[in-house]
A = this chain, B = another copy of it.
């Protein structure tokens, strides 16, 4: 039965998150520790401590390991509220890559691996890293099948060598999940596999920190060399050769949580622009009364609304145990493009102020641009969707639900 009502418990949690973020998180947006290329880890720890005290840490994580155990629909509501602030996701420990890594471990790891890693990640005691992307001309990027990093099987485990790019949160990270092409001792290519290790393991070298457009990552983004890194057999995550499949286990929901988070931030940019339009006076009235500005704000609302209901739909699908591959892809394309436009319009409404750090819109403008690239650029999702239409016909004719 089609229903969009929220249970009282979710409304209550959302409102508590909202109040927490307004009072305890947003004031840190001007903190010098988040005004450089990336965010300093001491700021993260300070915010995590506040969230823990408020009982709001890691709402998405399994209760058994210390989270609040929300389902995807509840997450949709709570993540939007949390991401009113650029620091909200960090504060609640629902930011990438940790949020997706926690989810991946919950689904794919052995009980031993879970017991070892989930408590410290969920409690925000340590941070995690996901090492997949490569950018050499022929390496793994949008097409993860092009893995050049290799893991060679030995008696006790695997020896990994290769080079990774844009590895978020690497500096200061603890757990490192590495994706590598696996070669058996007999020299057979077994396909991609995920490996667990720690950032301080011998054989891992951060070559350099990347200077990036975005600013909001604790530990920044790094280029990393793996040189004869040893990973024992018991630290394989999931099965050997199942790396790409498990990447999808991680990426499906991770795509959607990105949408949820950016929904909050796009809404914030819109709210700042709306308030400015109510006050700034030019050409005989408040600029919000000029249709040129008013229509931009109306378009913001339209996009926010259509994004939100589709996010809720995809979250519902995942809660039903569906993989929701098409729906999360469609959400990802729509949200990344529509939210980018919302933030762009909000900046435009602010005029000269918009390009300065006098509001947080400038930062959101920078931080949201990679959203159209990570977790599959729009082009890769459109390609996958088109391929499924070509092979199976229009989605609606397949009658999902």
Contact = CB atoms under 8 A, between A and B. Distances in A.
Interface in A1-20: 1-7
Interface string A321-342: 0000011001001100000000
Nearest to A221: B356
Given A292-B382, A301-B330, A137 B353 contact: no
Contacts of A374: 352
Contacts of A35: 211
Given A275-B393, A294-B386, A298-B386, A141 B282 contact: yes
A53 to B, nearest CB: 25
B302 A334 contact: yes
Contact of A386 (B165, B275, B295): B295
B290 A382 contact: no
B310 A305 contact: yes
Contacts of A293: 379, 386
Interface string A343-359: 00001100111111110
Nearest to A264: B396
B355 A370 contact: yes
B267 A394 contact: yes
A395 B357 CA distance: 25
Contacts of A143: 282-283
A307 B313 CA distance: 12
Interface residue tally of chain A, by bracket?
A: 35 or more
A387 B294 contact: yes
Interface string A304-318: 111101101101110
Interface string A207-228: 0001111100000010000000
Given A295-B386, A348-B373, A2 B4 contact: yes
A383 B283 contact: yes
Nearest to A165: B352
Interface in A358-401: 358, 362, 365-366, 369-370, 372-374, 377-379, 381-383, 385-387, 389-390, 393-397, 401
A138 interface: yes
Interface in A179-218: 210-214
A400 to B, nearest CB: 10
B270 A383 contact: no
Given A271-B394, A290-B291, 7 more contacts: A291-B383, A297-B385, A297-B390, A302-B333, A306-B334, A348-B378, A354-B373
Which 6 A-B pairs rank lowest in CB-CB distance, beginning with the nearest? A294-B386, A211-B357, A291-B291, A298-B385, A143-B282, A292-B379
8 contacts: A213-B362, A274-B394, A291-B291, A298-B381, A299-B382, A304-B396, A309-B310, A348-B378
